Amino acid sequence: MTLTSPIDEGVTAEDLGHVLFVGVGGVGMSGLARLYATRGLRVSGSELHDWPSLVELAKLGVTVHREHLPANLDGVDTLVRSTATPEDHVELVEARRRGIRVYHRSEALAAAMTGKNSIVVAGTHGKTTTTAMITELLTDRGLAPSFVNGGESPDGRSGQHGHGDHFVIEADESDRSFLRYRPDVAVLTNIDADHLNNYESMDGLKDGFAEFLMGVTPDGLVIVCADDPAAAEVGARLAGEGRRVLTYGTVPGADLRISAPASSNDGVTYRAEFEGRDLGEFRLPVPGAHLGLNSAAAVLVGLHLGLDPDDVRKGLSGFAGVRRRFELTGTVAGVRVYDEYAYHPTAMNAALTTLKGLTGETGRLVVVFQPYRVYRTRDFRTEIARALSIADLAVVMEVFGPGEELPPGDGGEALWLAVPLPADHKWFVSDWAQVAPLVADITRPGDVVVTMGAPPIALMPAEIRAALAE
């Protein structure tokens, strides 16, 4: 499906009536459904898989159908789908037969933002964490923002209606659906080679991000990471078009320049200077050297909205992280078990390098990786394999690629073979049930285990902890 045209201006969430969300359990769709439900609107959804989010949605009064059936459309005014919804999906076909309005997820999100000051975060890496930081900052300052994020906060929320004027969202560039948005503030964290199946080339990808940023309202603000060459190039292009652009980073000339960054198991610290003014030291209580840049974007958003630097500092100091981003799920038998969403080699490198630093002198890093998407696993096989070799031991699962064919030679086994680790330090396991027992068998006290990759593997840490406890 082609996603290039914006939703009709002025349409609100209330105009959509009773909304059915297809595949409501995934993080992106459940967050939007939660937003609609907490806004007091009538919401239902359909979902085959047992996502933890379904329990919380039910508590909010959302009716969740556990089968995809034509009858689920009874009384529904709008069906909301994602790009992954096939054209022959029974509910989509039935909605069209009945003449029921069909919106893409991005359209339903755009409708919800109508009338709000929208802050939209885009980029190949870091957008979920940056979105969460901005949301945490505004919430801490009592501004009660609405938000929809691509990851869950520690309390399990990926979306919420707030009574304040601001609306913070993570934008998805993978299917070009971010071109529907007309932000008041847009943040670009970086641009890396990904989703080239939809953009054909790196130049095409940069053009896509530039088009997104050109959608910012005429008096709006574009915030760009100056440390990322591709993002900086696009930001300069926007400035040349007369758009207001502010930059952040460690490089000379950045409008918000950070210096003396330091990362430890206790978190991240750095100093910041804005347009020649020393703002002092900022601290995040979560590990990850790259988080300093993400938080710098949040600092710029806060300053743009008129917050005092001390208030911004206080707001960020309470940031608790995002689920599936360096998330410590538990410690059993002396083994710490983390979960991490990274699946692109750049993000994997950053995550595994940080986690490797947590192992100490005697511990080992064990990565359990479920590749996400056939085309990405094929196109970045060498880079992903090299990233996995940062760990001491690697377990590779089969590719998760919903709706994709898996040609011979493009799956998890080919990736496993490419990992530059000794043969007795890496495993390919296609049977989900065998993964947790294997991990329990190969680990020892002091080791760090991280499950990494596609959404389903978020369910694996619990199984690993149970196996370790036996």
Domain 116-317 - what CATH class? Answer: alpha beta
Q: Is 126 annotated as a binding residue?
A: yes
Assign 3-class secondary structure to the chain.
CCCCCCCCCCCCHHHHCCEEEECCCCHHHHHHHHHHHHCCCCEEEECCCCCCHHHHHHHCCCEEECCCCHHHHCCCCEEEECCCCCCCCHHHHHHHHHCCEEEEHHHHHHHHHCCCEEEEEECCCCHHHHHHHHHHHHHHCCCCCEEECCCCCCCCCCEECCCCCEEEEECCCCCCHHHHCCCCEEEECCCCCCCHHHHCCHHHHHHHHHHHHHCCCCCCEEEEECCCHHHHHHHHHHHHCCCCEEEEECCCCCCEEEEEEEEECCEEEEEEEECCEEEEEEEECCCCCCHHHHHHHHHHHHHHCCCCHHHHHHHHHCCCCECCECEEEEEECCEEEEEECCCCHHHHHHHHHHHHCCCCCCCCEEEEEECECHHHHHHCHHHHHHHHCCCCEEEEECCECCCCCCCCCCCHHHHHHHCCCCHHHEEEECCHHHHHHHHHHHCCCCCEEEEEECHHHHHHHHHHHHHHHC
Q: Say which residue the tokens 């950070």 belong to.
A: 258
Find residue 180's DSSP bridge partners: none
Span 241-256, mean pLDDT?
94
Out of 3.40.50.720, 3.40.120.10, 3.30.420.140, 1.10.10.10, the CATH code matching 13-104 is 3.40.50.720
Query: Is the model more confident about 426 or about 49?
Result: 426
Closest CA to 116 of 69, 68, 169: 169
Q: What pLDDT, on a 0 to 100 scale, did the predictor assign at position 45?
A: 95
pLDDT higher than 50, residue 429: yes
pLDDT higher than 50, residue 3: no
Closest CA to 48 of 108, 77, 89: 89
Per-residue CA distances from 7 to 10, 14, 347, 380, 402 (Å): 9, 15, 32, 34, 27
Closest CA to 165 of 216, 235, 118, 230: 118
Delimit the domains of the chain by residue range. 13-104, 116-317, 327-469
pLDDT in tens, 100-133: 999 999 999 999 999 999 999 999 888 888 999 9
Q: Is 123 annotated as a binding residue?
A: yes
List the single range of 170-179, 210-219, 241-250 with lowest mean pLDDT.
170-179
Max CA distance (Å), the chain: 64
Span 157-167, mean pLDDT?
92
Out of 3.30.1330.10, 3.10.200.10, 3.30.420.110, 3.90.190.20, the CATH code matching 327-469 is 3.90.190.20
Q: Is 124 annotated as a binding residue?
A: yes
C-alpha atoms less than 13 angstroms from C-alpha of 237 in its C-beta half-sphere: 16
Cα–Cα distance measured from residue 352 to residue 359, given in angstroms and rounded to the nearest whole number:
11
pLDDT in tens, 284-309: 888 776 788 899 999 999 999 999 99
pLDDT in tens, 178-227: 888 899 999 999 988 766 566 678 788 899 899 999 999 999 999 999 99
Query: For the chain, what percent of residues have pLDDT higher than 70?
Result: 96
- Look up residue 345 and give its two tokens: 């080699």
pTM equals 0.80
Q: Is 425 annotated as a binding residue?
A: no
Task: Provide the mean pLDDT of the chain.
Answer: 89
Q: What pLDDT, on a 0 to 100 scale, did the predictor assign at position 466?
A: 96
Span 172-182, mean pLDDT?
84
Q: Is 4 annotated as a binding residue?
A: no
Q: Is 220 annotated as a binding residue?
A: no
Query: For the chain, what percent of residues have pLDDT higher than 90?
Result: 62
